[in-house]
Amino acid sequence: MNRNRKGSNGFRDRSKEILFIDARNLGHLINRRTKELSQEDVDKITSTYHNWRNLDGNYEDIAGFCASAPISKVKELDYVLTPGRYVGLPDDEDDFDFAERFASLKAELEKQIAEEDTLNKIIMNNLKKIEQ
């Protein structure tokens, strides 16, 4: 948060916009509730902020990560400040081949079913040995 958003000392006028950064997909879990950001993650966030703030920064919105939204858009969304509403979803390459993926998943499932059958036979043999 910065009170001087009017633009001076090399900064651009940011008085009518907000930078939203959605860092949910950054970092890694160190336990069930705590996520830790790596230095690269911190650098990505800070460089994005500095590029957005500076006059000579080369900021651009990145779908799924950051977006600069005007106050009017925030007002339209009833001042909800959840970053996901503004940054949207990441642009994933859509090179997904359903038939190929389905075939590989089916083969993996068949392999696991065969392995299950083998393990069940081993368990039953071991149980018979215990009964005797």
How do residues 38-74 score in pLDDT, each as one tens digit?
Answer: 999 999 999 999 888 887 778 888 888 999 999 999 9
- pLDDT, the chain, mean: 86
Residues 69 and 27 both lie in one domain: yes
Q: pLDDT tens digits for 102-119?
A: 999 999 999 999 999 999
Residues 99 and 82 both lie in one domain: no
End-to-end CA distance of the chain: 75
Q: Looking at the domain assignment, is residue 7 inside a domain?
A: no
Residues 23 and 43 both lie in one domain: yes
Q: Could you tell me what percent of the chain has a pLDDT over 70?
A: 88
Q: Looking at the domain assignment, is residue 36 inside a domain?
A: yes
- Domain that includes residue 121, residue range: 94-132
Cα–Cα distance between 132 and 129 in angstroms, integer? 5
Total of domains in the chain: 2
Q: Taking the model in full, what pTM does it have? A: 0.61
Residues 104 and 70 both lie in one domain: no
